Amino acid sequence: MPENPTEPPLSRRAARAARPPQGTADDGQPGDPRADAAEPRDQRSDAAEPGDQRADAGRPVPPAPAQVPIEALFEEQERNAPVTAARIDKDRRKSRVAAWTVFAVIIALLGGLAAGGFWVWSTYEDQIRAVMGWEEPKDFEPGLAEGEVTITVVSNETGADISQTLFDAGVTKTSDAFYDYLISSGADTNKLDVGVFSLQEKMTSEAAYEALVDPANKQQNTVQLREGLTVDQSVERIAEGVGVPLEDVEAAVADPGAYGVDEQSLEGWLFPATYTFDPGVTATDVVQRMVDRAVEALDEAGVPEDRRAEILTIASIIEREARFEKDFFKVSRVIQNRLDPGNSETAGLLQMDSTVKYGYGTTHDGSVSTTPEQRADDNGWNTYLHPGLPVGPIANPGATAIEAAMNPEDGPWLYFVTVDLSTGETEFTSTYAEHQEAVEKWQAWCADNPDGGC
């Protein structure tokens, strides 16, 4: 305790003044590091003790402390909180949430890029392949050939026609592969002969050419009729297949009654198939066999004798209108719905372009559509002018088309249109407004594919 209790205690500044000179302190010698270290510490300690008026006088008053949000206090408290197992788990959960959030963002970005890339590829695939040299091969690879198919080459067919025939039969990979081969290789097209030939599926164009010019692959006395051919197309194939004069075949098909057919024409009655005949067969024998095969197919489908002409007519329209057999039964339903007398929207009019083209004589003009002039022509096959079925078949239907004519699929459809002629994609609709939307799609496809056969 101080001896004089009334004497105020010395301040730090007064204490320093009372200290002995440096080097004489009893706790350090001159040069003693302890004494040297003490001086800077004292020089930094200019802050006055509380109540030291001398120290406080003349010194600026420090500003009031800034207001700290209470949330910051909690955050500071959390940062300074002891590390516990619960806090570690919490931090781990936060890390996992953050990681999954980043992952989700990355996936979303990649998904957007993928969607954009898919749109670009689907829209500009051909151009991209051409620029990058990634064109899809037009031909099958060697060594893939399998099975057996027959194809018919008729008079006046061009290399492009034969190329399409080979593609339709599954011999070549694309419709223009064989034609491109003829051009690029300079192959002698004069060696190509008419007739029926045995080939394989998935052949290269070069192998198909060699097979066509090899006499061993030509089938003698064989006729192949595919679905959808007309009588005019069929007689030429019959003549070349069995080696009889064309005039003989034309005379043979001119009299339907000679084969038990009570119709004005044998249209629809020459059943599509591949036929082989003995040498010396006559044109009449050939036609009789084809008609008999048509009657057999009608009987197999359960067609009553008095409905044969009707079913062949419906089946022939199905054969010409539908692109794929899977659509045959829907097209058949459209025909039945439009013929329904109770349907006021169609008034019994089929309005099928295939029948109009047949009646106008333009079935083989390479187009699926009709002109106002054709639709205005007054003939028995113009289903835009005359309600009900046309006066007869328009082509030779196959077994599936006959079955579809007898057993239409259930549905409300009144319209259909093939919106993509390259793939055969067809839309079936129940109202005229829906049909118009599908027609617009078809028109857009035609605009993008001026050589597509619209």
Burial of residue 332, with CB atoms counted within 10 A of its CB: 0-12 exposed, 13-18 middle, 19 or more buried: buried
Residue-wise pLDDT for 59-91, tens only, equals: 454 555 555 555 555 555 555 555 565 555 666
- Single-letter code of the amino acid located at 102: V
Q: Is the model more confident about 21 or about 453?
A: 453
Q: What is the distance between the alpha carbons of residues 89 and 335, in angstroms, rounded to a whole number?
A: 71
State yes or no: pLDDT of 57 exceeds 60: no
Average pLDDT value for residue range 202-215: 95
Q: What is the distance between the alpha carbons of residues 221 and 239, in angstroms, rounded to a whole number?
A: 10
Burial of residue 336, with CB atoms counted within 10 A of its CB: 0-12 exposed, 13-18 middle, 19 or more buried: middle
User: What pLDDT is attached to residue 155?
Assistant: 79
Q: CA nearest 294: which of 314, 321, 332, 266?
A: 266
Q: Is the model more confident about 295 or about 195?
A: 295
Residue 26 pLDDT level (bands cut at 50, 70, 90)? very low
User: What pLDDT is attached to residue 262?
Assistant: 94
Most distant CA atoms of the chain, gap in Å: 157
Residue-wise pLDDT for 371-423, tens only, equals: 999 999 999 999 999 999 999 999 999 999 999 999 999 999 999 999 998 88
**Coil, helix or strand for 222?**
strand
Q: Is the model more confident about 39 or about 303?
A: 303
State yes or no: pLDDT of 172 exceeds 90: yes
User: What pLDDT is attached to residue 366?
Assistant: 80
Q: CA nearest 237: which of 291, 283, 201?
A: 283
Residue 105 pLDDT level (bands cut at 50, 70, 90)? confident
Q: What is the distance between the alpha carbons of residues 323 and 428, in angstroms, rounded to a whole number?
A: 13
User: What pLDDT is attached to residue 432?
Assistant: 92
Q: What is the distance between the alpha carbons of residues 379 and 385, in angstroms, rounded to a whole number?
A: 9
Decide: 356 and 384 in contact? Cβ < 8 Å: yes
Residue-wise pLDDT for 10-23, tens only, equals: 444 444 444 544 44
Beta-carbon contacts of residue 108 (< 8 Å; ≥ 6 apart): none
State yes or no: pLDDT of 28 exceeds 50: no
State yes or no: pLDDT of 41 exceeds 90: no
Q: What is the distance between the alpha carbons of residues 422 and 419, in angstroms, rounded to a whole number?
A: 9
Helix, strand, coil fractions of the chain, as percent rounded to 5: 50, 5, 45
* Lowest mean per-residue pLDDT among 94-98, 152-156, 319-323, 335-339: 94-98
Radius of gyration of the chain (CA): 47
State yes or no: pLDDT of 248 exceeds 80: yes
Secondary structure element (H or E) that encloses residue 319, with its range: helix 308-321
Residue 30 pLDDT level (bands cut at 50, 70, 90)? very low
Average pLDDT value for residue range 252-263: 96
Q: Mutual orientation of helices 205-212 and 177-185 as an angle, nearest 10°? A: 80
Q: Mutual orientation of helices 308-321 and 399-406 as an angle, nearest 10°? A: 110
Residue 290 pLDDT level (bands cut at 50, 70, 90)? very high
State yes or no: pLDDT of 285 exceeds 80: yes
User: What pLDDT is attached to residue 78?
Assistant: 53
Location of structure tokens 């392949």 = 129
Q: What is the dihedral of CA 354, 358, 361, 364, to 10 degrees?
A: 60
By residue count, the chain amounts to: 454
User: What pLDDT is attached to residue 75?
Assistant: 55
Decide: 198 and 217 in contact? Cβ < 8 Å: yes
Average pLDDT, rounded, for the chain: 81
Q: CA nearest 418: which of 452, 376, 373, 382?
A: 452
Average pLDDT value for residue range 435-450: 91
Residue 424 pLDDT level (bands cut at 50, 70, 90)? confident
Average pLDDT value for residue range 224-248: 94
Q: CA nearest 395: which of 241, 253, 237, 226?
A: 226
User: What pLDDT is attached to residue 91?
Assistant: 62
Average pLDDT value for residue range 186-199: 90
Q: Is the model more confident about 193 or about 77?
A: 193
**Coil, helix or strand for 225?**
coil
Among positive and negative, which fits the CA dihedral 182, 188, 194, 195?
Answer: negative
